[in-house]
Chain A
Amino acid sequence: MPVITYREAVTQALTEALDSDERVFIMGEDVGGYGGSYAVTKGMLAKYGPKRIRETPIAESVFVGAGAGAAMAGLKPVVEIMTINFSILAMDQIVNHAAKVRYMSGGQLSSGVIMRTVTGGGAGLAATHSQSLEPWYAHVPGIWVVTPATPYDALGLLREAFTKDDPVLFSEHALIYRLRGEVPEEHYTVPFGQAAISRRGSDVTLVAYSRMVHVALDAAQMLANQGVEAEVIDLRTLRPLDMETVFQSVRKTNRVAVVEEAWRTGGFAAEIASQIQEACFDYLDGPVARIGGEDVPQPYAINLERATIPDAKKVVNELAKVIGLKVTA
């Protein structure tokens, strides 16, 4: 099977769409000759020309709103929001409009704009450039929120996004663009709302999404060294959300922790924990642990930043502290 990077997976899905569907065009800041801030659209301007690879002024509100508008007119725009932090400038367009077009028109219109963006911290970019804001968007009915953790999923989920008539927030994690992984030669897609079991285990369930899947896998390795087998579940999409896979795992392991990079208070882990206790109360041998980012704006100094983002050690320590597992980091 071919091995490609996470970045190449995103690029490939975009390229396929540009090749196969003339309604598709890309717009955003520096997406042209520059190739995008994270080099995802590199070479596309030369290949597809300025009509389909459109560089915009720094004006998130209008290029996201215009993406929504062009989608209402029947095109399939992909807007690149340089990072999820700047999606806030377009939040009115995303939340009040793109997400509600269908509902507010009684089903007459849809706005299937794909909003690609980059999430997460760890690159030393401080408070306004390091946030994980996907949970905000997952709160909103009318928009799909996609959070791939692997090249396989990045390709499969982005292909799937092109089949949707609703807006999709496609959130790529800044730190895993170079991550390599196998992808099959033959065409496949990854349906929205279907979690993946990234590692099988019987003693404890770790639920995660985006880069935290890899942190959970690292933690699982530390646990395995101490005789505890963790099952790691990658949610893949936050909306739609596949809780059934999580419930099945919890009914087997009876212990569960949710790991996310977003701030712990009011994060998406709270939603998941809540659904678990509703559905699996009798199966639980301990509280549902929530492991998230520290409730603080992301600091710049590297040692401080590291202290705010969950790592495998923190996961293991929290499992000991909250659930009472006899493990140490």
Chain B
Amino acid sequence: MAQANSKQQSRGGIQLPPGLTDEDLLDLYGTMVLSRAIDERVWMLNRQGKAALVASAQGHEAAQLGTLWALRKHAPEFFCFAYYRDLALWVGQGLSARDVLLGYTAKEGEPISGARQFPMHGAAMRLKVMNLSNVVAAHVTHAVGWALASKLRNQVNVAACFFGDGAASQGEVHESMNFAAVQRLPVVFFVENNRYAISLPIRKQMAIERVAQRAQAYGMPGVTVDGTDVLAVYGAAAEAVQRAVKGGGPSLVEFDVERYLPHTSDDDDSRYRDRAEVEAGRLRDPLKRLQEWLSRSGVLTDEHDAALRRQAKREVDEATEYAEAAPYPDAGDLLEHVHAPR
């Protein structure tokens, strides 16, 4: 945990949250560039028939990375319970382009499930991320259990749980929030609200404006922030994480984000989404927003930006080549890991 800077600094007329440095911002930006490059590549490979089903994180990256930086700065220990749209989160925690590409091609050496589960599904204990199942909302209960274990052990290990607006309709989410609030568990519920559950628009999912409005009913704080604005995300996440760390119990932080692409590569969103709406959403590009702000404030030079993008492309190219050449997993191990050795 880094020491928070006592004095706040201003960048491009915007106050930096305490504790966040220029290096952090550049690091975060570089991660976002890499995540976007991987994301665009797997989508393209899918279109060429070379990569499996993709759920793109494009438009959600600032929400994931701003949260991650807040966790790093403010939680002594944490664990991320991700969902399928959290590529940037994984990349932020160190999943490499090669690892991701091995997942999308389901090849030998895929590190998070051994190519047993969907791409971007599995666990990396080393990276403190798991996204085991693609049964919507199931993992929310696990995050609560993780936080419960942390409390029972008198540790401060914050469970960061990510899910979509659609998932918020599941009974398990309501049960989890109530349970966590009653027991004041160190868990934060991060809702990446892109206003769609596959084809279902938000007004058909809930009769209120914001998922965060529910927080009060469970007895926890809830806020909604612009999830394309890294600083707003960081600020809201940091507050919630600090609350969890101090024993103040759970919080709900909702990010207003955009889903740039169809639900998955199998989906055709023109059947239910107006093009103008999609185009308008794309104007809220978290990557561009961060890039422009960092350039304006003199933190990011054009040369540095170009170098980051070149580096990301190189990594993704190498990863693609490697994954395409890699063999499929050995079928001899098919029945391994069904049960523990003892």
Interface residues of A (CB under 8 A from B): 29-30, 32-35, 37, 55, 57-59, 61-62, 85-86, 88-89, 124-129, 294-297, 299-304, 307-308
DSSP class of B's interface residues: helix, strand, loop or mixed? loop
Cβ contact within 8 Å between B338 and A301: no
Contact (Cβ within 8 A) B133 A128: yes
The answer on a CB contact under 8 Å between A304 and B171 is: no
- Tell me, rounded to whole Å, the shortest Cβ–Cβ distance linking B5 to chain A: 42
Fill in one digit per residue for B174-200: 1 if any A CB lies within 8 Å of its CB, else 0.
000000000000000000000001111
The answer for the CA separation of A37 and B197 in the assembled complex, in Å, is 12
Residues of A within 8 A of B197 (CB): 29, 57-58
The segment out of B38-46, B162-170, B237-245, B249-257 that lies at the interface is: B162-170
Q: A34-B272, A55-B200 are in contact. Are A304 and B116 (CB under 8 A)?
A: yes
Nearest B residue to A82 via CB reads B198
* Other-chain residue from B106, B137, B334 in contact with A300 (beta carbon distance below 8 A): B106
Further pairs besides A37-B198, A57-B204, A89-B172: 9, Cβ < 8 Å: A34-B272, A58-B197, A124-B53, A126-B121, A300-B117, A301-B107, A303-B331, A304-B115, A304-B334
Residues of A within 8 A of B338 (CB): 295-297
Residues of chain B with a CB closer than 8 A to A294's CB: 334-335
* A297 CA to B137 CA, complexed, in Å: 20
Q: Please tell me if the beta carbons of B135 and A85 are within 8 angstroms of each other in the complex.
A: yes
* In contact, A57 and B113 (Cβ under 8 angstroms): no
Cβ-defined contact, B329 with A303, below 8 A: yes
6 contacts between A and B (CB under 8 A): A62-B171, A128-B134, A129-B134, A294-B335, A296-B334, A296-B335
Q: Which 9 A-B pairs have the closest CB atoms?
A: A57-B169, A34-B199, A301-B106, A301-B115, A303-B328, A59-B169, A299-B116, A57-B205, A58-B166
**Size of interface on B: residues with Cβ below 8 Å to A:** 37
Q: Which of B28-65 contact A (CB under 8 A)?
A: 52-53
B52 touches A124 (CB 8 A): yes
Contact among B113, B115, B199 with A33 in the assembled complex (CB-CB below 8 Å):
B199
Q: Which partner residue on chain A sits nearest B166 by CB separation?
A: A58
B113 CB contacts on chain A under 8 angstroms: 300
Interface residue from A33, A307, A308 paired with B272 (Cβ < 8 Å)? A33
**Contacts A34-B272, A57-B206, A308-B334 given: A302-B169 contact, CB under 8 Å?**
no
Query: Please, which residues of chain A bring their CB within 8 A of the CB of B134?
Result: 126, 128-129
Q: Which residues on the B side are within 8 Å of A88 (C-beta)?
A: 135
Given contacts A58-B169, A299-B334, A304-B334, whether A126 and B198 have CB atoms under 8 Å apart is: no
- Residues in A with CB closer than 8 Å to B53 are 124-125
* B26 part of interface (Cβ distance < 8 Å): no
Q: Which residues of A contact B137 (CB under 8 A)?
A: 58
Cβ 8 A contact of B117, one of A35, A57, A127? A127
| Contact partners of A62 in chain B: CB under 8 A | 171
Alpha-carbon gap, A62 to B172, bound state (A): 12
Interface centre among A55, A126, A297 (most CB of B within 10 A): A126
